[in-house]
Amino acid sequence: MKNGIFIVLTVIISLYIFLEVRSKKFSIKESFYWMMAALLMLILAIFPYSIDTIAGWLNISYPPSLLFVFCILFLLFINFRNSKKISEMQERIVELEQNLTLVKAKQDKKK
């Protein structure tokens, strides 16, 4: 019964992501990673002992810690991508401000 709840939760999360992309509140490019995370959640919900198997392959004695490591790495990856985008946008804003200043200066000379 527990697995059914997690499967339904995963489907709801996937539908939410899909609807956000459809309403153009979320980009397709960004949603790809979240859909992959939802797919992983679905796999873990259907095969709950797969994390134990993977932990055994990696010689990890407490399998839930592997799940937390995966989640932390995923969130760090998303955070790094967002930080990179913010930096690029800040550079673009400075460039646009400089261009706007030049255009205003040209208009003032014409007057």
Whole-number percent of the chain with pLDDT over 90: 50
Asked if residue 102 has pLDDT above 90, the reply is yes
Helix (H, G, I), strand (E, B) or coil at 66: helix
Q: For position 1, what pLDDT does the model report? A: 60
Q: What is the pLDDT of residues 47-100, one digit of tens each?
A: 888 889 999 999 999 988 998 999 999 999 999 999 999 999 999 999 999 999
pLDDT above 80 (res 7): yes
Which residue has 């796999």 as its token pair? 43
pLDDT-derived band at 24, boundaries 50, 70, 90: confident
Q: Look up the domain containing 24 and give its range.
A: 2-110
Rounded CA-CA distance 61/84 in Å is 35
DSSP string over 5-61: HHHHHHHHHHHHHHHHHHTTSS-HHHHHHHHHHHHHHHHHHHSTTHHHHHHHHTT-S
As a whole-number percent, the residues of the chain with pLDDT over 70 amount to 99
Domains: count for the chain: 1
